[in-house]
Structure 1
Amino acid sequence: MLCRNCLRATRAAASRPAIPLLRAGISSVTRSATYTTSTQASVRHTLQTRLPALPTFRTYSTSSSESAAPPPEKPDYLNEAESTIWDRLVAEFEPTELVVQDISGGCGSMYGIEICSPKFAGKRMLAQQRMVNTCLGDLMTNWHGAQLKTRAP
């Protein structure tokens, strides 16, 4: 049984003139219209035996306490509302990066939030933003809008 790529190569070889196959030190094998299944199998076997073995890599795991990055340090320039948002997001998501900014000119009706958290890994952007909306839901009822930028590390 041949794989899809071998079948394609066989069909392509039948439609073109003989071309030397120069792979892994094999110089005398040619592709031609008279290729048979046994010839293909012997060429495949020769290629597999002459190719160098790929190195194996070991994977190491670390405990979560060693790999956990410390939460970002809370800036001292945040106002009271920004500080409340910051605290909730740090408690819920344990972010590696976090930016909270009142972008409404100081009235507190719109906030820009950029957050990078390992809890977002494997989730799409919409799911990530819904997680943030759920966390800040009761605060967001009084806002005009929010700019959310979420990502996984």
Structure 2
Amino acid sequence: MFLRIPARRALPRLTAPFLQTTTTPLRAYSSSSPAAANTAATAAPTTPQLPKPTDLDEHESALWDLLTAELSPTELLVKDVSGGCGSMYSIDITSASFRGLGILKQQRLVNSVLGERVKGWHGVQLRTKAA
């Protein structure tokens, strides 16, 4: 018994008009002058200061102040998860400083801000997110 396989037929070539390139240059439109647009683009955006939680102990408070000063987070949670001995912390941080960075680079940035403090800890739970 032989199995008959039908011959392959060539499909017609389709051209998509949306794949064609245009020669019209794109322009950025603004209601202000180009000089004002350049100065507005170089000015640093202002972020509102986060209210500091009242339930932080002295070590959590020091970490909060350090991270807030260096990274200007929009959301920040610092918690001692070691039972109060200060050997392990959980840090959840959302910051505009993380835009365009991968997760590993975001966490390295936080670790560089924390510096020598991390070396004395047993561990850290670090969650970062770009704002």
Q: TM-score, normalised by structure 2?
A: 0.69
Q: Which has the higher contact order (CA 8 A, sep 6+)?
A: 2
Question: What are the ranges of 5 or more consecutive residues in structure 2 without an aligned counterpart?
Answer: 1-9, 21-26, 32-36
Q: Determine the structure 1 residue equivalent to 2:78.
A: 100
Q: Determine the structure 2 residue equivalent to 1:17.
A: none
| Count of aligned pairs between the two proteins | 106
Question: Any idea what SS the aligned residue of 1:69 has?
Answer: coil
- Percent identity, aligned pairs only? 45
Deviation at 1:140, TM superposition (A): 1.1
Distance in 1 of aligned mates of 2:30 and 2:84: 50
Distance in 2 of aligned mates of 1:105 and 1:58: 56
Which runs of at least 4 in structure 1 moved beyond 6 Å after TM superposition? none
Q: Determine the structure 1 residue equivalent to 2:94.
A: 116
Question: What are the ranges of 5 or more consecutive residues in structure 1 without an aligned counterpart?
Answer: 1-10, 15-30, 32-39, 49-55
Deviation at 1:72, TM superposition (A): 1.4
Distance in 1 of aligned mates of 2:105 and 2:56: 27
Distance in 2 of aligned mates of 1:116 and 1:58: 31
1:79 counterpart letter in structure 2:
D
Q: TM-score, normalised by structure 1?
A: 0.59
Question: Any idea what SS the aligned residue of 1:107 has?
Answer: coil
Deviation at 1:71, TM superposition (A): 2.4
Is the radius of gyration larger for structure 1 or structure 2? 1
Q: Determine the structure 2 residue equivalent to 1:140.
A: 118
**Match runs of 1:1-153 below 5 Å:** 12-13=11-12, 58=29, 64=43, 67-153=45-131
* Aligned alpha-carbon RMSD (Å): 2.8
Deviation at 1:58, TM superposition (A): 4.7
